[in-house]
Amino acid sequence: MRETMSMITSPARIPATGRHVAEPVAAGSGDPTSDLLDQIARALPRARHESHRRLEVTARLRTLAPSEIAFRQGDPIQLTLMLRGHAAVRRITADGRELVLGIITPGLLFGFSSIAESPAGVDLVAVTAADIALWPGCVVRSLVVDDAGLALDVIEGMAGFLVNLSDRFDGFIHQEARRRVLRVLADHEDLFFGRPAVLSRGHLPGLVGTSREMTRRVVRELEREGIIARVGKRGLRLMSPARFHQAIGLSSERP
């Protein structure tokens, strides 16, 4: 049975496991969610301060463990603000193929279609430990009616999502495997090659939209060229930034 999200008058944390139990977030505690109002204001710069405050006091906060699913494809979507950590936006196709449409990083706000009470077209899966704030669509809808600035934020957010989604599907359909792997590695360079890395080789097939074997072939090819190296069972290391960016440029010039 799906659990509905009720209105509350102060932020509450939802633990990663077990039944949702509200707990207050202490001010000045060092918790990444303690400056929730500032994060809301940065994510919705045109909205009125009154709307920011309303969102602050009606937020439901949730902590996710790595690989935990915040919501599933087909569930009622909620407006979601990533406060800490990283999550993947994942869609399972009719034939069972997994596509990762994007990586949500701290500060990103998504799920604007919640104002229409639309079902989620994707899963939201934590890549790392993460904190998120959520709002049911009825809260956002009531605020949009009276706040033109918030309405503009919503429109721009939805437009940006549609453009990015179109670009992603264009890449899935029209680009050959090497180009797609290079594009994904370039788009998420800090997340794959940072120390510590956030994304691993295991995330590549979903982001690239190819089979695991096809992705492995491209990775081995790039490794033979001295561009990247496999590290352990899941990691990647950037061996030559110059060759990497040269390969991206050459790939972009291909028809």
pLDDT at residue 11 in the model: 40
pLDDT at 116 over 90: no
For the entire predicted model, the pTM comes to 0.74
Same domain, 184 and 115: no
Which residues fall within 8 angstroms of residue 223, CB to CB, at 6 or more apart? 229, 230
Confidence of residue 150 (pLDDT cuts 50, 70, 90): very high
Same domain, 228 and 123: no
Same domain, 240 and 167: no
The residue among 128, 152, 171 that closes a domain is 171
Same domain, 84 and 135: yes
The total of other beta-carbon atoms located within 10 Å of residue 151's CB is: 16
Q: What are phi and psi of 86, to 5 degrees?
A: -135, 150
Confidence of residue 251 (pLDDT cuts 50, 70, 90): low
Which CATH number do you get for residue 241?
1.10.10.10
What DSSP element (H or E) covers 82? strand 79-84
Q: In total, how many domains does the chain have? A: 2
| Residue 83 covered by a domain | yes
| Residue 80 covered by a domain | yes
pLDDT at 250 over 60: yes
Same domain, 188 and 114: no
* Segment 37-87, tens digit of pLDDT: 999 999 999 999 999 999 999 999 999 999 999 999 899 889 999 999 999
The average pLDDT across 215-220 equals: 93
The average pLDDT across 233-247 equals: 92
Q: Which domain holds residue 127?
A: 12-171
The average pLDDT across 212-234 equals: 93
Strands 12-14 and 60-64, how do they pair?
parallel
Same domain, 115 and 232: no
